[in-house]
Every structure is written in C-alpha cells, then in structure tokens.
A and B are shown apart, each in its own frame.
Chain A
Amino acid sequence: MSTHTSKVDNSVSYLEYQGKHKGLKAWIFSTDHKRIGLLYLVTMLFFFSIGVTFGFLMRLELLTPGKTIIDPQTYNSFFTLHGIIMIFLFIIPGLPAVFGNFFLPIMIGAKDVSFPRINLLSWWLFLLGGILAIVSVIMPGGAVDTGWTFYVPYSVRTGTNVWPALLAAFILGFSSILTGLNFVTTVHRLRAPGMSWFRLPLFIWSLYSTAWIQVLATPIIGITLLMVFFERVFGFGVFDPALGGDPVLYQHLFWIYSHPAVYIMILPAMGVISEIIPVFSRRTIFGYKFIAFSSIAIAFFGSLVWAHHMFTAGMSSPAMFIFSLLTFIVAIPSAIKVFNWVSTLYKGSIQTDPPLLYALAFIFLFAIGGFTGLIQGALSVNMHIHDTSFIVAHFHYVMFGGTGFGIFAALHYWFPKMFGRKYNLKTAKVGFWTLFVGFNVLYFPMFIMGWLGMPRRYYDYLPEFHIYHSISTYGSWILITGLIIMFTNLYIGYKRGAVTTEENPWGGETLEWQTMTPPPIENFDVIPEVTGDPYGYKQNDENETVKVKEAL
C-alpha cells in the first residue's frame, strides 16, 4: 500500500499509477486522496445533473399557471429531491470532498490525509447515501414530498418514502463527519516543515474551519433525523403534537445543524476565492490574517443564529432579539472578506481568465445574497418575506451564486493541474457569461415576487405572478445552456485538450503549483520546506516602496 513509501514508484502521475488493483477497481478501492477527490467529482457531478433536471422541470411547470407538465404531488417530490440532492450531494461535498481531498494534502506539503482508508470509506458512504436517495424515488410508496427540511408533523404523516430519504441524509452525515475528522487531523499533524499556521493557504484555513463545523454540528442532524425515523416507525412522540410532542423542537434541532451547514457550504468557496484572486492579480493577498480569522468568526457566530429560520414559528421576545442581532453580526466577517478581496485587485497585474471571472462573479452574487440576508434578518420584514420566493432567491444567490460559482471557479482553476490538460479559454468565457446572465434572469424575479407575496413551495400561483414566473423560467433555459457549454468545454478539454506538463500555468505560489502536473502519487519527490507566505510574489517586493498612505 501507499504507506510503504519505498515501494511506490513516484515518477508517474497519480492518473497512471498502477497499484495492486487494475481498471475501475484501481479507482474505487484507491486510498490516494487525489483519486478519492476525483471519485467524489464524478459522483457529485452525476448527482448534480439529476438535481439540475428536477430544478429545470419545476421551472417548466411554473411557466404557466395551473398544470403545465406535472401534477402537484410530482411537483412536491421534485422540490424535495432537488433540495436533498443539491444540498447533501452537491453543495456540501462539492469543495471539501472534491477539491479539499485533492489539494489539502498537497497544499500543506503532505503525502496524503491522516487516515486514507477512512477517507475511502467516506466516499463509499457518500455513494451509498446518494444511491439510497435516488432509489427512494422509484421505490413503491412514492417519492418523498416533505421538502428537504423534513418538517414534523408533515414528515411523520405523509405516506411517501420518507424513511429512505432520512436514512440517506443520515449516512451522508457520517460521510461528512469522516471527511471533517480527516481534515482537522491532517492540518494539525501533517504540515510540511516550515508550514506554520500563518503560512497556510487561505483555502486550507477555510477547510479547517469547515471541518470543525462538520465534526461538531453534523451529529445533531444525524440524531434528529434518526428520531424522526423512530417517530414514524415506533410512534416515539418527541416531535408529533398528536402524541404530545413539539414540532418547534424539531425545527430547533434541525436548524442547529442546518444553519452552520450553510457555512459548511460557503466557507470553502470563500477559500477558493482567496486563492484565485491573488494568483490572477499576481500580488500578495490583502489582509491575510483578517481573512483567516474571519473564517473562524463565521464558523463561531454562524453556530449561534439558527433560529432566524424560525422567526414566524413563535419564540420569546428575548430570543427573537438575540437571534436577529446575531444575524446582523454574522454578516460582518463576510463583509471583511469581500473588502479584502476587492483590495487584493488594487495595484495587481490582473488577467481575466475564467477562474477569475468566476471568482469576481462569486463576489457580486454572494454580496447580493448577503445583503438580502440582512433584509431577512430584520424581524418586522422577516414576518412578511419568510417562506416566500424572496427566500428562495436569497439562498440561491448564496448557495448557487456563491458556492456553485465557487465550485466552477475551482474546476477552472485546478483543472490543468488535476488532469494535465488544457480547456479552451474562449469557450469557457462564453459559458461563464451565459451562466451569469441566466442565473440572474432565473433568480432575480423571485426577489420581486417574494416581496409581493408569492409563497415558496407553490405548485400554482395567482395570475399577478405570472410575468415573474415566466421570466424566471426563461432564465432557467439560459442558465442550462451555460451549464452545458461549460461542462462540454471541460469534458472536451479532459478528452482532447492540449496535454500540458507545465507545473504552474497560472503563476500561483502555493505548493500544488510547485509539483509535477498531474501530481505524482506521493505528491512530491521531496517534501518541500516552506519559507514564506503562500502568496509571496517576492518579485514584486523590489518595487514595494508604496506605503500605506499611497494605498489609501
């Protein structure tokens, strides 16, 4: 096995390496973090395509009032599955499990993660959970129709396949915990000589903060969903009011995990943006420590605001006061990040390659998502817009415009390193702009109709909302065209793109750019000694006579 360093031929890339298994087995039983990263990538993209299909069909249904293509029961299952798939199988694992697995060890100068076999196990659990979620659709009983939030008492009463979905989420939770555990341990134990905490790339800081949330918060959702499972099977009566339980207790437990989960989803994307902006500006990052500590602050404060999902459910006034206030406070570290990113462009040497375009789009879309989050944090306004399409727009700006674009940025950034091939830059830009336009046409009208009183999770709507729904549906067509252009271009790049062994195509300074392309099985011939900060750009220092005043 790869732990016996002497037996490994480190001169070939991880793609060509031949271990004791051959063919597909050499992948699905590989404990190499890079191969596991690619396993996650392929499975995640498969689930993503299913999630997109459900979203596309929902939008198509909403093109006209009344029935367009599907009946209400099918629609209710579609939005449930769209949510479960996108959250548990795309957004949560997207960056940590794919790019974290692939690059975390390389970027800290390690040969692998601390527990390679547990890492493989976490992928198997991910696959199992994902398959269970998909299979529940075709099992007798009907696809789950509770919404991804599984709110009690509806989730206890509906006759649909709730239990496979609950079990799927439970298993996926374990997968996520194991990944988090691996990352925390790896960052603590396996950093290369000289890689002190403040020399860690910011992507690693974000993964480290995320990993702690994964380890600490995920067990809560696990046990909560298990209790709903028992409630259905044995009539536990913890949550079901008919048995004397409390549905609001369920909501608290659910959001104690699921709000921090929002930060599991967004923090790694912020990390990716912090990598890309200095590299494409060819200068050091502005405010390294502020960006690093703001990740920790987000992880901490983000754990204390869960009840802002429940302002209309009924809570004491002091609770409302504190949760609303903290919701505003948690916006501050995100704002700090945005200001530091924009400042990193200042006096750079900027090249607008596709990764940077996605990163800048991230800032713009995430800012809209963040600002509309403030609007929802205001209690009186929340009473009006809670559970309307305003919320749907808001979290798509954060989760898709933020994390989704962060994943696409990461794909375009690390693609040459991962596959040793190039994709077409021009087509990638066309894909980007199509996606960006489609995204806004799709989701922006939802803000307007939400403010006007369009509730979410509605199969049908009043005539006054028709115009917004139809624009939104047209937007979904543009967006899907963009996705097709982007993925086709990357796929063609992977199959037929120009082969490159260039170590450092973008001019990055972090360790993954200092090793072979694609990386060898043990990442480095010799574990590098780290001597400076991850975005040093020493060549700039000769003309760094510019001082603070000029910067202002």
Chain B
Amino acid sequence: MFSASNYVDKVDFAFIFITAISFALLILITILMIYFVFKYNRKKGVKPVNIHGNTTLEIIWTAIPVLLVIPMFYYGWVGFVEGNNPPKDSMTVKATAQMWKWTFEYPNGVKTDTMYVPQNRPVKVDLISIDVTHAFFVPAFRIKRDVVPNRNNMVWFTSENTGSFDIACAEYCGLNHSYMYSKVVVLKESEYADWLKIQTDKMNAAAITQ
C-alpha cells in the first residue's frame, strides 16, 4: 500500500492511538457514572456514606494520565519534526497565495494555477502571501502551513500515489475564503517531464510573441 504522502501513516497512527485511549477512558467514565446513578439511587433508600478521599487513588489517577500522555506527545512530535527538514534533493515550487487564488511557480519560471508534481520526489513548497494570511492545506497529504506575509514558511512532502488532490485555504481570508481551492496533481516522473516541457514551450512561445 502506498500513502498519499510521507506523513499520512504517522499522522493517522498518532490520531488512532490517542483516539483509542481516549475512547476507552470515556467509556469507563460514562459507564461508572451511569452505574453509580442506578446502583446508589435514592429510591433504593440506602444510606449514603461520606468518603473524603483517598490519596492512593489520587496518585494513581494522576500518574496514569501522565504516563498515557507522554507517548501521545511523542508520536505527535516524531510525525512533526520530519516536516522541518526537507531532503537535499527536493524540488522547489513557489506557492503564492492572494485573496482568493493560488499561483504555483516552478524552478524554470513556469507558472500555473494548479500544482503539478512528480511522484516519489520530495517537493518543497515555499509559501508566499502578497496580502493577508492564508493557509496551505492538502487534507489527503495531512499537511497544513500558514501562508503569512513577510514570513517565508515552507512545507514539504513526497507523494507516493499519483492522482489529483484538493488544496484548500485554511486560514480565514475574507469574502471568498471558501472558494480558495486548487489541486495538486501527482504525475509519474515521465509524465511530469512531458507536462513540464509543454508548459515551458508555451511560456517561451508567449515570451516571443510579446
């Protein structure tokens, strides 16, 4: 099985890990509450008992959550740090956000409004905003980064699947925020080369006619 990006497995694992533990604890708390409400219902006429507390129990239910959240933190951390270090052989695409569209620029100067990238090749996306703050979000890749003016954020990914995936703006940016969608199209290496050649020729032809 391939993943849409290098992050998917780690993010999904951390999510499932935390959700599973949380779900178990939620069920435990809920069942105890419901059980106590029925068992010790006033209608049964049992005399209540004062129990002021129990230090052993307090220590246990402080220590166990501490022990549980440490791996939660850890799995979140490892899936994240990878994103800080784009591989040396990454291809760079410059993504420019403005109200309310995206423009993508490739190393040789080609510009498009849909992003095209080759499969299995690390792609570093430089995030530039020319007006307000936006956010570059590809749900299928589990990546998101704010596109803040004057602050050159970046995000990188390697896509193992070909196909077309949504890019959304995830930081509120005004009137047409919800229409600020684009796509990232992942092509086989050879198809990508063909595509880039056609785009480059088009660009050069346009330059000559001007």
Contact = CB atoms under 8 A, between A and B. Distances in A.
Contacts of A546: 49, 51
Given A281-B40, A347-B40, A380 B149 contact: no
Interface string A379-391: 1111110111000
Nearest to A338: B29
Interface string B15-52: 10011001101100110110011001110001111111
B184 to A, nearest CB: 13
B13 to A, nearest CB: 9
Given A331-B65, A363-B33, A383-B143, A377 B40 contact: no
Contacts of B73: 324-325, 328, 377-378
A138 interface: no
Given A312-B135, A350-B36, A153 B75 contact: no
A365 B182 CA distance: 36
B19 A375 contact: yes
How large, as a class, is the contact surface on chain A? 35 or more
B69 A247 contact: no
Nearest to A536: B50
Contact of A282 (B48, B53, B84, B153): B48
Given A248-B148, A331-B69, A384 B62 contact: no
A540 B37 CA distance: 18
A84 B78 CA distance: 36
B22 A374 contact: yes
Contact of B79 (A321, A347, A380): A380
B123 interface: no
Interface stretch (A254-262, A285-293, A419-427, A470-478): A285-293
Interface string A226-268: 0000000000000001100011100000000000000000000
Nearest to A356: B37
A73 interface: yes
A437 interface: no
B196 interface: no
B171 interface: yes
A387 B69 contact: no
B168 to A, nearest CB: 5
B51 A314 contact: no
B72 A374 contact: yes
- Output the residue of A158, A347, A375, A378 with the most chain B CB within 10 A: A378
A72 B176 CA distance: 7
Interface in A505-552: 537, 540-541, 543-544, 546, 548, 551-552
Nearest to A541: B50
Contacts of A377: 72-73, 76
Contacts of B36: 342, 345-346, 348, 350
Contact of A336 (B15, B61, B166): B61
A145 interface: yes
A76 interface: yes
B57 A343 contact: yes
Interface string B161-176: 0000010111111111
B156 interface: no
Given A317-B84, A348-B40, A540 B47 contact: yes
A387 B50 contact: no
B206 interface: no
B142 interface: yes
B117 interface: no
Given A283-B51, A384-B143, 6 more contacts: A147-B172, A321-B77, A350-B37, A377-B76, A455-B178, A537-B48
Interface of B: 7, 10-11, 14-15, 18-19, 22-23, 25-26, 29-30, 32-33, 36-37, 40-42, 46-54, 56-58, 61-62, 65-66, 69-70, 72-73, 75-81, 83-84, 131-133, 135, 137, 139-140, 142-146, 148-151, 153, 166, 168-179, 181
15 contacts: A153-B132, A287-B54, A290-B58, A320-B80, A347-B48, A349-B42, A364-B29, A375-B18, A375-B22, A378-B72, A380-B10, A380-B75, A384-B142, A453-B139, A546-B49
The 4 closest A-B pairs by CB, nearest first: A453-B139, A380-B79, A378-B76, A371-B22
Interface of A: 72-73, 76, 145, 147, 151, 153-154, 157-158, 241-242, 246-248, 281-284, 286-290, 312-314, 317, 320-321, 324-325, 328-329, 331-332, 335-336, 338-340, 342-343, 345-352, 360, 363-364, 367-368, 371-372, 374-375, 377-384, 386-388, 451-453, 455-462, 537, 540-541, 543-544, 546, 548, 551-552
